[in-house]
């Protein structure tokens, strides 16, 4: 009997060792990545998506340091939907160690995803002619990410990487840390096309399309389980550390549907089939988020589409309480610079990895030529730089709902941004801001 127990124990041990570890629980999970163009609460492509990698902002050659106004609400939204949230930084620093340092100094304290989660450096533009300097700047950034307690990743495309970066040096220090993009075409691609996979060492996430759904959305697949990082056994409801955005997301996730109030934001579930009035729900509505503007028993009236949905077909994304939680996020003490003789605002902005617009906003400067010797300027703070306005030209048969879905925004946003009094009155050739 004792020997039998020993044999059973050994068999159980063998079975346990044969089962993949929790680090690989998310292997082959699909997910998305978001920026400001996916709107306040982001958008998933399909009900089976498991993660979102969200742009916090970054540094580019035109704006300098800039923030994404949607980052915090998108992090909370992903958590509220039971998805793993991660972060990426636009990292247009060329081969400059100074710009790398400025960018990481600014953004690492502002990361709202849990410790251990991915913080990827998006290096797809602005490389210098010095391949080693570019590589050094990337390695510096990834070391800073790791030292801050996050999982560092490098994002780009294979041709750009081969031309500008010694990526094997990255892998020598950070194995399996590449997030690489390669698309077969621009048709809707819900699953990877492995014939165009960027065959190279160390790819942990494959971005296989920019048209995951009609209208555009990046689709990704986790090849190693790296998107589990930051979450206990890959469970999005069990982040390893808490931030204001994570708290807000968990609060929304745990809010009972019976307590939904006017002003709350909900997502239309992918599984929903009919409006409460019986008509079929269009596919472009599913997965999108809408404000509740009226409640009648178990029926919710959605802003923008002006349709009633059953409470059971809605998922809470944000409530007034969760939004207050997000707004409690601590601010960062601003760094300063004292103006010297011969300084210009553009020169100060360039030297400090920021933009003239950011300095004007932070310091209340209406005219960039009006600075003076001895003036103390804030170099960073809580000001948000609004991205350049983009436009869309209305085509024949367009309506605001399809346009909003195509652009990753909402009808309400288009109406308010463009001063539209009647959402049904748009015309071909009309230029809409979004």
SS3 content of the chain, % helix, strand, coil (to 5): 30, 25, 45
- Residue 325 CA to residue 249 CA, distance in Å, equals 9
> 218: which 2 tokens?
């990046």
- Residue 321 CA to residue 24 CA, distance in Å, equals 35
Kind and range of the H or E run holding 87: strand 84-91
Is 173 part of the annotated catalytic residue set? no
At which residue do the structure tokens 């809470």 appear?
A: 316
> 240: which 2 tokens?
């390893």
Return the ∠ at Cα 89 (arms to 86 and 93), rounded to 5°.
160
- Residue 58 CA to residue 107 CA, distance in Å, equals 8
User: Which listed residue (124, 298, 343, 398) is catalytic?
Assistant: 124
Is 33 part of the annotated catalytic residue set? yes
User: Which listed residue (29, 67, 92, 122) is catalytic?
Assistant: 122
User: Which listed residue (33, 228, 251, 253) is catalytic?
Assistant: 33
CA dihedral (393, 396, 401, 407) in degrees, to 10, reads -30
- Residue 413 CA to residue 250 CA, distance in Å, equals 26
Q: What residues act catalytically?
A: 33, 122, 124
């Amino acid at each position: 009997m004792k020997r039998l127990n020993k044999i059973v124990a050994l068999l159980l041990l063998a079975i346990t060792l044969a089962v993949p570890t929790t680090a690989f629980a998310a292997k082959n999970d699909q997910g998305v990545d978001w920026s400001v163009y996916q709107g306040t609460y982001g958008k998933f492509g399909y009900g089976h998506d498991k993660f979102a990698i969200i742009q916090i902002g970054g540094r580019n050659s035109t704006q300098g340091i800039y923030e994404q106004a949607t980052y915090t609400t998108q992090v909370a939204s992903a958590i509220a939907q039971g998805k793993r949230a991660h972060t990426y930084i636009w990292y247009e620093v060329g081969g400059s160690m100074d710009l790398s340092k400025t960018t990481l100094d600014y953004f690492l304290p502002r990361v709202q995803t849990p410790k251990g989660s991915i913080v990827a450096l998006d290096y797809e533009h602005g490389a210098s002619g010095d391949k080693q300097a570019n590589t050094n700047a990337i390695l510096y950034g990834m070391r800073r990410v790791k030292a801050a307690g996050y999982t560092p990743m490098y994002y780009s495309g294979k041709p750009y990487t081969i031309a500008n970066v010694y990526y094997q040096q990255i892998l020598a220090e950070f194995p399996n840390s590449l997030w690489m993009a390669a698309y077969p075409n621009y048709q809707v691609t819900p699953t990877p096309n492995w014939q165009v996979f960027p065959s190279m060492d160390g790819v942990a996430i494959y971005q296989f399309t920019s048209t995951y759904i009609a209208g555009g959305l990046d689709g990704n697949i986790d090849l190693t389980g790296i998107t589990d990082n930051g979450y206990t056994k890959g469970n999005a409801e069990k982040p390893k550390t808490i931030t204001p955005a994570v708290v807000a997301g968990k609060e929304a996730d745990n809010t009972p549907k019976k307590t939904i109030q006017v002003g709350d934001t909900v997502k239309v579930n992918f599984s929903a089939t009919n409006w409460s009035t019986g008509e079929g729900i269009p596919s472009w509505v599913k997965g999108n988020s809408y404000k509740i503007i009226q409640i009648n028993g178990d029926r919710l009236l959605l802003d923008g589409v002006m349709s009633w949905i059953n409470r059971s077909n809605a998922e809470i994304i944000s409530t007034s309480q969760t939004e207050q939680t997000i707004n409690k996020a601590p601010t960062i003490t601003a760094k300063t610079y004292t103006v010297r003789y011969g300084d210009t605002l553009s020169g100060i902005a360039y030297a400090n990895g920021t933009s003239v617009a950011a300095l004007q906003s932070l310091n209340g400067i209406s005219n960039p030529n009006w600075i003076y010797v001895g003036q103390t300027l804030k170099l960073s703070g809580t000001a948000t730089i609004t991205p350049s306005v983009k436009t869309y030209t209305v085509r024949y048969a367009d309506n605001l709902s399809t346009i909003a879905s195509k652009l990753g925004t909402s009808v309400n946003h288009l109406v308010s941004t463009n001063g539209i009094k009647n959402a049904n009155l748009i015309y071909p050739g009309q230029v809409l801001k979004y």
